């Protein structure tokens, strides 16, 4: 018994590469400006690196290198202790 030929089946297209949520940057914002350490008195910059709830953004989300992310962490803790930033949003 001869097999029936299957009708033409459309080939699946290869999966598309998903867009990244965060764009790649060459250096972190502190390295680009040649800032050695984040300043706890510079609240404008520190607020850009925290969520509405007061949590720190991850390195991937903020784009900081490891050294400056640790510096930001210390600066945020100092700013909270001195009541320059809230502990909770």
- Domain assignment present for residue 68? The answer is yes
Find out whether 38 and 28 touch, Cβ atoms under 8 Å. Answer: no
Q: Which domain holds residue 47?
A: 29-81
- Domain assignment present for residue 51? The answer is yes
- Domain assignment present for residue 17? The answer is no
- Domain assignment present for residue 22? The answer is no
> How many structural domains is the chain composed of?
1
Q: For residue range 18-74, what is the model confidence (pLDDT) as tens digits?
A: 776 766 667 889 999 999 999 999 999 999 999 999 999 999 999 999 999 999 999
Return the ∠ at Cα 13 (arms to 12 and 18), rounded to 5°: 130
For residues 16 and 86, what is the distance between their CA atoms, to the nearest angstrom?
Answer: 42
Instruction: Supply the CATH number for residue 69's domain.
Output: 4.10.640.10
pTM, whole model, 2 decimals?
A: 0.70
- Domain assignment present for residue 52? The answer is yes
- Domain assignment present for residue 13? The answer is no
């Amino acid at each position: 018994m001869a097999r029936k030929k299957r009708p033409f089946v459309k080939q699946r297209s290869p999966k598309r590469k998903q867009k990244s949520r965060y764009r790649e940057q060459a250096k972190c914002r502190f390295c680009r400006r040649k800032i050695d350490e984040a300043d706890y008195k510079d609240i404008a910059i520190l607020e850009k690196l925290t969520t509405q709830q007061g949590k720190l953004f991850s390195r991937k989300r903020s784009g900081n290198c490891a050294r400056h992310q640790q510096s930001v962490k210390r600066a945020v803790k100092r700013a909270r202790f001195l009541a320059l930033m809230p502990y909770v949003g």
